Structure 1
């Protein structure tokens, strides 16, 4: 059921209740009548919003975090759009019509047999980052919705766990409180709004104080929504490999 249909169903229910109490209880009649009208108004607003989103394009970018894979080309509807993406590289956003699109991932300059094919439904007015990553030894394409709006003069950020060899983690301020609890593989945290600043984080094994790795000097800039992708452990430095992306 769409949001518009949900509001209409509520409006219908409140309308029936309003009619039921019309003569026996004027207060309840007025109460349900007002709720009936409010839900009709919400349904109208939601319908306009849904109709607008159908006409708006979507934005999409690709992040290559499949460490064992060579450079990739990504074809959209048979056309090579994102080319020669190597490990830890991301494309810029590209605009696409809302609706269903065919995505095929190939080795760079290869067009015979795709590494992965997927149909993806893009919603109008929505920004996506698609992470090409490994899960259970197989290449997969993980879509994440980006929310670029930030309150004026503030910053916001989230974490996404794409390190397949790592357990679920808590993200905490260094020597401080946990900010995001139990982020598991392929999961995104909610966004958190903060003042622009530089923060040192620790990634801890979920539910414990044991530090898996440190994430120092994370800079969150004014009027910017940032996503920190955790992509694995660098065994030379014993630190998490990570990528910070902003719109």
Structure 2
């Protein structure tokens, strides 16, 4: 009889411990991970100095110079205050509040000449291209250049009539090496820029943007820049 009572007490004690442990597990919650978005910043203002990037007043990148970019930065989703300051100073040349959706990708271009510098924001569709294809987007960011066509060397238009700050969404093209030209869209005859040996690899995603100034020299010379988004 004594043994039975002892067993009963032990079982009751074990049951109580188990119940308490289960209750503690139910009341303990893991912290919710912070949702993120990805933001790529591009310095596309041909006569602007190097800049620092601040997100919610925290430095996210320093001394970004024309025509370079930060690559994608992981940033907390939600409404974020983004500032572009002249490198090493508190002089803000661009400020914008961006509503960043979790798991989305964005590109922010600092565009125009420095006296009128402004942000240009895109949501980037980075869906994987079909087999044998690359995705290419074109953005016209040369402030004093006319509307342009991007063509093959025979004049075939790939992207047509794109004006300053205009863009063409990511477009599937066959992978391969292209010799392209930038032509004045008014007639499609005047070639303002040659873009030889553009290598588009299958499965890759690219942004090509017109940079610099028509008649510019040195780093400000009219040209094109390619970003590999993915």
TM-score range, shorter chain: 0.7 to 0.9
CA 1:184–1:136 in structure 2 vs 1: closer, same or farther (change >3 Å)?
Answer: farther
What are the within-5 Å matches in structure 2 for residues 4-43 of structure 1?
A: none
Counterpart CA distance in 2 for 1:167 and 1:148 is: 29
Residue 121 of structure 1 deviates from its aligned partner by 1.3
Counterpart CA distance in 1 for 2:179 and 2:115 is: 32
Counterpart CA distance in 2 for 1:139 and 1:183 is: 20
Q: Whose Rg is larger?
A: 2
Residue 192 of structure 1 deviates from its aligned partner by 2.0
Residue 188 of structure 1 deviates from its aligned partner by 1.1
Matched, 1:142 2:120: yes
Residue 131 of structure 1 deviates from its aligned partner by 0.8
Count of aligned residue pairs for this structure pair: 192
What are the within-5 Å matches in structure 2 for residues 29-178 of structure 1?
A: 57-111=36-90, 113-134=91-112, 137-149=115-127, 150-178=129-157
Q: 1:243 aligns with which of 222, 225, 229?
A: 225
Matched, 1:189 2:136: no
Please identify which structure carries the higher strand content: 2
Runs of 5+ in structure 1 lacking a partner? 1-54
CA 1:205–1:176 in structure 2 vs 1: closer, same or farther (change >3 Å)?
Answer: closer
Residue 104 of structure 1 deviates from its aligned partner by 1.2
The ranges of structure 1 where at least 4 consecutive aligned residues each deviate by more than 3 angstroms after the TM superposition are: 233-237
Runs of 5+ in structure 2 lacking a partner? 1-33
- Tell me if structure 2 keeps the 8 A contact 1:101–1:122: yes
- Secondary structure in structure 1 of the residue aligned to 2:41: strand
- Tell me if structure 1 keeps the 8 A contact 2:147–2:184: yes
How far does the alpha carbon of each residue in 1:90-128 deviate from its partner, in whole angstroms, 9 at most, with x for none?
A: 1021112322110111111112x3122211111222211
How far does the alpha carbon of each residue in 1:69-94 deviate from its partner, in whole angstroms, 9 at most, with x for none?
A: 11100100010002110111110211
Residue 136 of structure 1 deviates from its aligned partner by 8.4
Counterpart CA distance in 1 for 2:205 and 2:164 is: 22
Determine the structure 1 residue equivalent to 2:190.
Answer: 210
Residue 184 of structure 1 deviates from its aligned partner by 0.8
How far does the alpha carbon of each residue in 1:11-53 deviate from its partner, in whole angstroms, 9 at most, with x for none?
A: xxxxxxxxxxxxxxxxxxxxxxxxxxxxxxxxxxxxxxxxxxx
- Tell me if structure 1 keeps the 8 A contact 2:53–2:62: yes
Counterpart CA distance in 2 for 1:203 and 1:155 is: 20
- Tell me if structure 2 keeps the 8 A contact 1:214–1:240: no
> TM-score, with normalisation over the residues of structure 1?
0.71
> TM-score, with normalisation over the residues of structure 2?
0.76
Counterpart CA distance in 2 for 1:240 and 1:71 is: 19
